[in-house]
Chains A and B, each alone.
Chain A
Amino acid sequence: MSCANLMKPERYKNLQWVLIFLLVFSLPLIIGVSTGMGYIKIPFLEVFNLIFNKLFTHTDINNINTVVVIDVRLPRILTAAIVGGGLAVSGVVFQAILLNPLADPYTLGVSTGAAFGASLAILFTIITGTVFSVSLFAFICAVLTLFFVIYLSSGSGGISSNNLILSGIIVSAILSAGISFIKYIADEQVSLIIFWLMGSFSAATWADVILTSAFVFIGFIISVFYSRDLNLMAMGEKSASSLGVNTKQVTIILLITASMVAAICVSVSGIIGFIGLLVPHIIRSVTGPDNRKLLPLSFLTGAIILLSADTITRAVLPVEIPIGVLTALIGGPFFCYVFKKQHMAKRGF
């Protein structure tokens, strides 16, 4: 039968495998290398030795390197990696559901909600003197924002992607004004808020690692479970429905999943832009828009990119630049390049 030539995928098949191979092996490698980097340089092998000892032999070698690796650097590095992966996965899902290649984890106002919550917590801490958890406030406000945006955009005919994007913009605008007002009230201590908003992993703890990995892992599994439905949704809602997708259910489940992932990422790290927008684009240009490949590859790439960026600001640059600023400064121009190139080549997104 001449259908044999239909069975082999043609699009950059080899490149895909190279990419998968590279990503899977380079993530642990980069984690190891960046753990050794910093003010105190620790050789690569010693890093692995230390981690291995800690994990399997439980012998506490109480030297300074153990403390640096286990208590200081690893939580930060792992959080950066998980947040990077989470933001990328969330971006893939948002772009697919909203049928908009320019959507990102923050399109629905989740980040502004988180920023508002964080600012509020910081303000309360300043005023009352008791400590309010910034992450908790950020997360709760992000989730409230999400549900309000979904409520605002749902009508008799279900929720349309245009309504979602519009509602996200409106709510973001209101919350931004709220943040400005909080900054105004905070007066001289406004820098605390500004620093949080620019994003940082410097305060990451093992609790952050566990919390974010739990959310991101569950979110990733749910997204992968629905990845084929997501492909069908790209055909338009009516077509997807006629091909057996319960579009309303899938839309709402994935919106909430992706937003939760984005919310937890923002609440532990502050606002880190461009990862969720850029990574899905880069991967899509290699693998095509099939979400079954896009999701895992974007996770790995997002993790590697954000971890590397964080390592650069932590250990390479003479002064630590806020990570959100760095990703925007590098990611922004790079996105312009990718966008223009794809645009010129007429490959679409």
Chain B
Amino acid sequence: MEYKAENISFSYARKKIIDNISMKFEPAMFYGIVGPTGCGKTTFMDILLQYKKPESGKIILNKQNLLKYKKKEIAKQIALVPQNYVINFPFTVKEVVIMGRYPHISRFSTPDTDDFKTVHYFMEKTETLKFKNRLVTQLSGGERQRVVFARALCQNTPILCLDEATSNLDMRHSIELLNIAASGVKSKSRTIIAIIQDINLAAMFCDHIIFMKNGKIAAQGKTADVLNENNIKKVFGVNTKIYFDKYSNSKQVVFKK
């Protein structure tokens, strides 16, 4: 699966949000996008998903411009867990998760047994099965986030985008959900592109980190190579100390008051 961004630029109200970004995403890799707020991370992801059209440049998926794809075809290739999730209508949890299968089911068909198996599997994994009949409008932020996570996993796509997907979750669920997502990386050659605020979570899960600042890629490369004091200072303007932590088996970043 070839997936890359070529010379992407995007402006909003004459302000350049994305400034000539090129990036290639490989299969079986977990990519983390980190950067200060307002650096264009979410906009970049919106463009990767064809939710926003780039001003210039293009996204290539399987040797073809993403613009040439139908929305439904994209939904079979790329899934998204968005941030700030609000649902105004009282669908049940189960109904919402089944929607993840819609790209695979034609408009007037009903889900078959395989669809339900997939739904059941991911609801169990995300621990949403126990409240399958509750209304999404009544869930807590974290519960809702897990439901949406389950829905995106049900899309069973080769590429999964996470836009601060764990921001509403407690420690345990953050780690568990990222583990579920990450398990598909090696076993199914899945590509994960995750915007992550928590630099230490990013350090634990990502194979590759992309530092963004002012709409540009400030640094990118293997986590082991690019996650260092200099880059953090350059991108976030924060002094840190970075060391290899045996317990988490990853680099970890510590801060000072």
CA–CA, A225 and B75, complex, Å: 19
Contact with A2, one of B85, B99, B120 (Cβ below 8 angstroms): B120
Closest chain B residue to A95 by CB distance?
A: B89
Across the interface, do A236 and B87 meet the contact criterion of CB distance under 8 Å?
yes
- Residues of B90-144 contacting chain A, CB below 8 A: 90-92, 94-96, 99-100, 102-103, 107, 113, 116-117, 119-121, 123, 132-133, 135, 137-138
Across the interface, do B90 and A1 meet the contact criterion of CB distance under 8 Å?
no
Closest chain B residue to A245 by CB distance?
A: B71
The main secondary structure of chain A at its interface with chain B is: loop
B80 contacts which chain A residues (CB < 8 A)? 238-239, 242
CA–CA, A284 and B92, complex, Å: 13
Let me know if B86 is at the binding interface, CB within 8 A: yes
Whether A243 touches B120, Cβ cut-off 8 Å, given contacts A234-B88, A290-B91, A348-B135, is no
Over the window 161-174 of chain A, the binary record of Cβ atoms lying under 8 Å from chain B Cβ atoms (1 yes, 0 no) is 00000000000000
Across the interface, do A228 and B95 meet the contact criterion of CB distance under 8 Å?
no
A349 contacts which chain B residues (CB < 8 A)? 88-90
How far apart are A32's CB and chain B's nearest CB, in angstroms?
A: 33
Across the interface, do B82 and A3 meet the contact criterion of CB distance under 8 Å?
no
Let me know if B169 is at the binding interface, CB within 8 A: no
Q: How large is the interface on A (under 10, 10 to 19, 20 to 34, 35 or more residues)?
A: 20 to 34
B71 contacts which chain A residues (CB < 8 A)? 241, 244-246
Residue tally, chain B, CB below 8 Å to A: 47
Across the interface, do A288 and B92 meet the contact criterion of CB distance under 8 Å?
yes
Over the window 309-339 of chain A, the binary record of Cβ atoms lying under 8 Å from chain B Cβ atoms (1 yes, 0 no) is 0000000000000000000000000000000
- Residues of A229-257 contacting chain B, CB below 8 A: 231-232, 234-236, 238-239, 241-246
CA–CA, A1 and B120, complex, Å: 9
Let me know if A99 is at the binding interface, CB within 8 A: yes
Closest chain B residue to A291 by CB distance?
A: B89
Closest chain B residue to A3 by CB distance?
A: B120
Over the window 54-74 of chain A, the binary record of Cβ atoms lying under 8 Å from chain B Cβ atoms (1 yes, 0 no) is 000000000000000000000
- Chain-B contact segment, one of A4-12, A136-144, A146-154, A213-221: A4-12
Let me know if B155 is at the binding interface, CB within 8 A: yes
Over the window 45-63 of chain B, the binary record of Cβ atoms lying under 8 Å from chain A Cβ atoms (1 yes, 0 no) is 0100111000000000000
Q: List 12 A-B contacts (CB under 8 A).
A: A3-B119, A238-B80, A239-B82, A242-B49, A242-B51, A244-B71, A246-B71, A288-B95, A289-B89, A347-B90, A348-B90, A348-B135
